[in-house]
Amino acid sequence: MQEPVIDQPAPPPAQGEEEHPSLALVNSAIALPGGHTVDLLGTPAQTNHWLTQRGLAPVDAGMREMCATQLRSLREQIRSLFAARAEGLPALPAAVAAVNDAMTRVPTAPLLRWDDKTGPYRTAPHPTTAIVDLALATLAADAADLLTSPDAERLTACGSPPCTRYLLRHGRRQWCSTRCGDRARAARAYARRGTSR
Local confidence pLDDT in tens for the 197 residues of the chain: 444 444 566 778 899 999 999 999 999 999 877 888 899 999 999 999 999 999 999 998 889 999 999 999 999 999 999 999 999 999 999 999 999 999 998 866 677 888 899 989 887 666 777 889 999 999 999 999 999 999 999 999 998 888 889 999 987 778 787 777 777 676 677 677 766 65
Q: Tell whether the torsion through CA atoms of 126, 129, 131 and 133 is positive or negative.
A: negative
| pTM for this predicted structure | 0.81
Q: Which of 55, 68, 40 is nearest to 128 (CA)?
A: 68
Q: Give the chain's domains with CATH numbers.
A: 3-195 (1.10.3300.10)
Phi, psi of 94 (to 5 degrees): -65, -35
Length, in residues, of the chain: 197
